[in-house]
Amino acid sequence: MARVLSGVQPTGDPHIGNYLGAWIRWAREQQPEHFFCIVDLHAITMPHDPEQLRDRTVDVACWLYACGLDPALSALFVQSQVREHAELAWVLNCVATMGELHRMTQFKEKSQGRESVSVGLFDYPVLQAADILLYHAEEVPVGADQQQHVELTRDIAQRFNSRYGETLTLPKATFPTAGARIMDLQLVDKKMSKSLGTAGAILLGDTEAQTRKKIMRAVTDSGSEVRAAPDKPGITNLLDLMAAVTGASTQDLEDHFSGTRYGDFKAEVAEAVNGVVRPVRDRHAELASDLGAVHESLAKGADRAREVAAGTMTAVRERVGFLT
Ligand code: TYM
CA of 8 relative to ligand 1 center, distance in Å = 5
191 is catalytic: yes
- Substitution candidate for ligand 1 out of 3, 11, 18, 26 with most atoms within 8 A of CB: 18
Q: Is the pLDDT of residue 244 over 90?
A: yes
214 is catalytic: no
The protein residue whose alpha carbon is closest to atom 29 in ligand 1 is 7
For 83-94, what is each residue's pLDDT tens digit?
999 999 999 999
pTM: 0.97
The protein residue whose alpha carbon is closest to atom 28 in ligand 1 is 7
The residue-averaged pLDDT of 275-295 equals 97
Q: Is the pLDDT of residue 197 over 80?
A: no
222: pLDDT confidence band, cut at 50, 70 and 90?
confident
* CA pair distance 209, 215, nearest whole angstrom: 10
* Confidence (pLDDT) at 221: 87
CA of 6 relative to ligand 1 center, distance in Å = 8
CA of 146 relative to ligand 1 center, distance in Å = 6
- Substitution candidate for ligand 1 out of 146, 181, 198, 238 with most atoms within 8 A of CB: 146
The protein residue whose alpha carbon is closest to atom 18 in ligand 1 is 18
CA of 82 relative to ligand 1 center, distance in Å = 20
- Alpha carbon 109 to chain centroid, angstroms: 17
With a pLDDT cut of 70, the percent of the chain lying above it is: 100
For 112-161, what is each residue's pLDDT tens digit?
999 899 999 999 999 999 999 999 999 999 999 999 999 999 999 999 99
The residue-averaged pLDDT of 165-173 equals 98
* Confidence (pLDDT) at 196: 79
1: pLDDT confidence band, cut at 50, 70 and 90?
confident
* Confidence (pLDDT) at 60: 98
DSSP alpha helix (H) spans, the chain:
16-18, 24-28, 40-43, 50-66, 84-93, 98-102, 105-111, 119-134, 147-164, 208-216, 233-246, 250-256, 262-288, 291-320
Percent of the chain as helix, strand, coil, to the nearest 5: 55, 5, 35
- Alpha carbon 163 to chain centroid, angstroms: 31
